[in-house]
Amino acid sequence: MALRTYAILYLIFLYAPIVLLPIFAFNDGTIIAFPLQGFTTQWFEELWTTTALHDAVGNSIFIAVLTAIFSTLLGMLTARAGAMANFPGKGGIIGFIMLPLVLPEIIVAVSLLVMLRQVLDMDLSNWTVIAAHTLMSTPFSVAILNGAFQSLDPAMEEAAMDLGENRWSAFRLVILPLVMPGIISSMLIAFTISLDEFIIAFFLTGANPTMPVYIWGLLRFPAKLPVVMALGTILVTLSIVLLSMAEYFRRRGLRRAGVEDPGGFI
Amino acid sequence: MTADDRSALIELRAVHKWYGDYHALRGIDLKIRSGEFFSLLGPSGCGKTTLLRTIAGFEPISDGVMYLDGRNVAGVAPNHRPTNMVFQSYAIFPHLSVAENVGFGLRRDKRSKEEKARAVGEALEMVGLAGYGARPSHALSGGQRQRVALARALILKPKVLLLDEPLSALDKKMREQMQVELMKLQREVGITFILVTHDQEEALVMSDRIAVMFEGEIGQLGDPESLYRRPNSARVAEFIGMMNFLPGSVSGTTVEMPGLGRAEVAAEQLTSGSFTGPARIGIRPETLSLLFDGEPDRGRVAPGMVDEVVYYGDMTYYDVRLDGVPEPVRISMKNLIGRPVLDVGTPCRVTWDEQALVVLPAA
Ligand SMILES: Nc1ncnc2c1ncn2[C@@H]1O[C@H](COP(=O)(O)OP(=O)(O)O)[C@@H](O)[C@H]1O
Ligand SMILES: [Mg+2]
């Protein structure tokens, strides 16, 4: 009973601010305060006509898509190595790959900035953000894909090879279809992480801001606050949809492999 | 070259397998003939699967040579060996239909689509799954998965079919049915089957020949009857069926036993070779009989007392204390009409036959 009360209070604490987003996004007033002024879709219309925002969204999507691809590829390599072979130092290596999960982002951002600018003398661009976002989202991809690869019966690949396939074709014909739900789930999560990420993008972005960085810029103009609320509403909705899809694919993957769900990752 | 050598389809010479510093196969010498139903029998962990996987090509051997169909297969990948495997887990591809599973190995085949479809149909019919082709494979029962795995392996017409404990996941009834079906299938297709099992009854029922393995070595190799009647070691005797052991001694072919006295045996009954001195003398429970009124003795009779009775319906197992024998011996008796089931504590007479003795050196 006490536990349930705690859980409910926790959820209210967690989600109350998010509920405010759509409320003020449709509120007909520039000041973010109760009482509400009436219903409008004006802020959403304003979003539609701001070209600077469109550029930022375009940047963000470009970065998020490539981050999703890179981190999923790296995740697959790691998960497969982890599931297949036992090699010296395996535990330590996996530990290091998972480390960005717990490192403070601001530290990662600052050290990456120093590294890229001072040591490598590179120009900041979308690509530097992609590299950093890949670093941040790879642990999530590894976690998801580890589940997908480890729930695979190792005899599946051997059976394919026994029936005439080589390593690569066995992977393509049997392993890949079976872990595909995990791959999709990993791409969706990495995409979402990259799309929402602010601190690293703020430090490493080049001339073209990503969407979160652009939003941060808007905050200096109080009149723009409702627009930010409208944008936030869209983002939250999109994140929820993408994460639900990711979870759906993750579960479907486990079902396909014929294993009990060992508990959700999300 | 003898006739036996020529028909050896598989030959292993001094094959060793190391996993790191674990010695999993310790010098396996083995010839398996063409068309034979061969079993690898042994307790869990003795290396049966390892041996099967080296033949399939999934594990490289660490030392020794292996010939498949006259060819040294060192370094030959599984897809280039004339073997196919039925995995313990069956490894049915869950994202493919039954027909797609069965036809998987035909992907690189040059035949037309229609011919391949016909081959798949025939393979399914052979394993009793005609008409199941369009079904999704993840909805199959254990027995059906096993049949799909069989059809999938046999469609490639391998020279050798390798089966790793294929029946262990099935319930008892299904298992017994599949034993018969597998034997029939093997006779039908004439392909060499190598079956891995830890179930001695399964091996006895199904095999032409059996290799009994312990700790990475072959303890004894032979047909089911010779393994059962003439085990060459106590552990083979105890692994296959039940065996009473009496302490005694041997000199030449003369055996001396407490309680049972002196007996003459044939040289072949000294199954691990002839020797003189202390011996363990093995007698199967069904070669000892309680003597009921009016039944003929088999030349030799020893007095004793019933110590324990286990009634099985068709059979009764008695533990009998023989005068002068330290441990009770187990005797199995058919419950024939008119034969009473004796109570614990009843004095009784036991008859036995020297031809049934197996003489081994004392441990
Ligand atoms: N890949 C492996 N790495 C290390 N040890 C192994 C490996 N495969 C099997 N073994 C060991 O080799 C021994 C024999 O295994 P296995 O052939 O599977 O036995 P069986 O099939 O007779 O039960 C076991 O002790 C097992 O732990
Ligand atoms: Mg095994």
Please tell me whether the overall predicted TM-score, pTM, comes out greater than 0.90 for this model.
Answer: no
In a domain, A37, yes or no: no
Best A162, A176, A180, A256 residue to mutate vs chain B (most B CBs within 10 Å): A162
Q: Looking at residue B2, what is its pLDDT? A: 43
The answer to whether A254 and A261 have CB atoms below 8 angstroms apart is yes
Q: Are residues B207 and B252 in the same domain?
A: no
User: Among B194, B128, B127, which Cα is nearest to B159's?
Assistant: B194
B79 lines ligand 1 (CB under 6 A): no
- Asked if A164 and B108 count as a contact pair (C-beta separation under 8 A), the reply is yes
Find out whether the beta carbon of B54 lies less than 6 Å from any atom of ligand 1.
no
Residues B215 and B291 in one domain: no
Best of B19, B55, B84, B87 to mutate (most A CBs within 10 Å, chain A): B87
Maximum Cα interatomic distance, chain B, rounded to a whole number of Å: 77
pLDDT surpasses 90 at B318? yes
What is the best residue among B26, B28, B40, B49 to mutate for testing ligand 1's pocket, by most ligand atoms within 8 Å of CB? B49
Kindly state whether residue B67 falls inside one of the protein's structural domains: yes
The H-or-E segment that residue B308 falls in is strand B300-311
Residue B211: φ, ψ to 5°? -105, 120
Domain encompassing residue B288: 242-361
pLDDT at B344: 94
Interface of B with A in 90-119 (CB under 8 A): 91, 93-95, 104-105, 107-108
Mean pLDDT of B121-145: 89
User: Residue B1: pLDDT above 50?
Assistant: no
Residue A153 has pLDDT above 70, yes or no: yes
Confidence at residue A258, expressed as pLDDT on a 0 to 100 scale: 57
Find the CB nearest B84 among A162, A166, A177.
A162
CA–CA distance, B146 with B165 (Å, rounded to integer): 11
Q: What angle do CA B78, B80, B82 make, to 5 degrees?
A: 85
Task: Give Cβ neighbours of residue B33 (< 8 Å, ≥ 6 apart).
Answer: B4, B7, B8, B9, B192
| Distance from C-alpha of B142 to C-alpha of B171, rounded to nearest angstrom | 9
Report the percentage of chain B scoring pLDDT > 90.
Answer: 73
Residue B296, domain CATH: 2.40.50.140
Helix (H, G, I), strand (E, B) or coil at B277: strand
Contact B179, B89 (CB under 8 A): no
Which two structure tokens, joined as six digits, stand for A167? 């390593």
CA dihedral (B113, B114, B119, B125) positive or negative: positive
Are A163 and B79 an interchain contact pair (Cβ–Cβ within 8 Å)? yes
Closest CA to A128 of A141, A115, A139: A115
Residue B304 CA to residue B260 CA, distance in Å, equals 11
Check residue A264 and give its pLDDT: 45
In a domain, A168, yes or no: yes
Q: Among all ligands shown, which has an atom nearest to the Cα of B20?
A: 1
- Is the same domain home to B34 and B181? yes
Measured between beta carbons, the chain A residues lying within 8 angstroms of B152 are 159, 163
Q: What is the rounded average pLDDT for all residues in chain A?
A: 83
User: Any chain A CB within 8 A of the CB of B88?
Assistant: yes
Ligand approaching nearest to the C-alpha of B59: 1
The pLDDT value given to residue A195: 87
3-state secondary structure of B257: strand
CA-proximal residue: ligand 1, atom 25 (nearest)? B45
Helix, strand, or coil (residue A105): helix
Q: Domain range for residue A240? A: 60-81+103-259
How confident is the model over B67-117, as pLDDT tens digits? Answer: 999 899 998 999 899 999 999 999 999 989 999 999 999 988 888 889 999
CB contact under 8 A, A156 and B58: no
* CATH number of residue A146's parent domain: 1.10.3720.10
pLDDT averaged over every residue in chain B = 91
Q: Is residue B260 located within the same domain as residue B157?
A: no
**One domain for residues B79 and B218:** yes
Contact criterion met (CB below 8 Å) for B198 and B43? yes
- A177–B95 CB contact, under 8 Å: yes
Q: Is A194 among the domain residues?
A: yes
Rounded CA-CA distance A100/A109 in Å is: 11
Residue A36's pLDDT is what?
74
Residues B96 and B19 occupy one common structural domain = yes
**Residue B200: inside a domain, yes or no?**
yes
Would you state the pLDDT for residue A1?
A: 66
Q: Do B203 and B249 sit in the same domain of this protein?
A: no
What's the number of domains chain B is made of?
2
d(CA B239, CA B234): 8
The answer, yes or no, to whether any atom of ligand 1 lies below 6 A from the CB of B19, is yes
Angle made by CA atoms A161, B153, A81, in degrees to the nearest 5: 25
A97, part of any domain? no
Shared domain check, B186 and B289: no
Q: Is the CB of B216 under 6 A from ligand 1?
A: no
Last residue of a domain, one of B229, B255, B286: B229
Each residue's pLDDT tens digit, B232-283: 999 999 999 999 999 999 999 999 998 888 999 999 999 988 899 999 999 9
Q: Which amino acid is present at B313?
A: G
A163: chain B residues, CB-CB within 8 Å: 79, 84, 104-105, 152-153, 156
Ligand 1 touching residue B78 (CB < 6 A): no
Mean pLDDT value across residues A202-220: 84
| Mean pLDDT of the region B214-226 | 95
What total of structural domains would you count in chain A? Answer: 1
In this predicted structure, the answer to whether residue B139 has a pLDDT above a threshold of 90 is no
